[in-house]
Structure 1
Amino acid sequence: MPASPETLEFLDGIADEMVSEFGISRAEAVARINAQWHGQDLSDEDSLVLHEEERYWAFMIHFGGNVPDWRPGADRSSWVPKPPPAEDSGFWTVPA
């Protein structure tokens, strides 16, 4: 997807957040991000994507919009993440 340098840096931060918060691989984090915004143009530096924090998007993408508790120490043991994109979806663009 087209993205401005600022947005690319922001997406990289979202991937970092997903890796550290959820223990997933960077490849999976990038695939989830690609699936979230495929077909969209994020090249505008005023993109709405940039109006939320990286942590917000990491949680929204990983849990498919179902985030019951935003507190940092929340018990997430019963939360169910959204399944990652299929391996043949074309969203897996980073080697595992």
Structure 2
Amino acid sequence: MSTTYAMPTSPETLEFLDSIADDMVAEFGVSRAEAVARINEQWHGQDLSDEDSLILHEEESYWAFVIYYGGKVPDWSPGADRTTWVPKPPPAADSGFWTVPA
């Protein structure tokens, strides 16, 4: 298990989770610490150590949007106007999901 993520991972899923975090940082301007905390909240308690993990069947950017907006993505178009979209609040500071220093 990674010390960054709160669930068991394989080398492939670890790399995938890092890419999702990178996408959230680039796309939404959140810190890496917040991106990792959001990922931990999304998948804590699950085993992602299988090389055929279901999460690998979607693109990193898909998961970045799903996690950041709490599954409520009204428009998947690349140029969609997101000015009225409301992101899901980040996990609470004392939730245990914040494993990367801010």
The residue number in structure 2 matching 1:79 is 85
* Displaced runs of 4 or more, over 6 A: none
Alignment of 1:23-42 (within 5 A): 23-42=29-48
Partner in structure 2 of residue 70 of structure 1: 76
Query: 1:1-80, aligned counterparts within 5 Å?
Result: 1-80=7-86
TM-score, with normalisation over the residues of structure 1?
0.99
How does the TM-score come out when normalised to structure 2?
A: 0.93
How many residue pairs are counted as aligned between the two chains? 96
The Cα RMSD (Å) is 0.4
Displacement, 1:89?
Answer: 0.3
Structure 1, unaligned runs of 5 or more: none
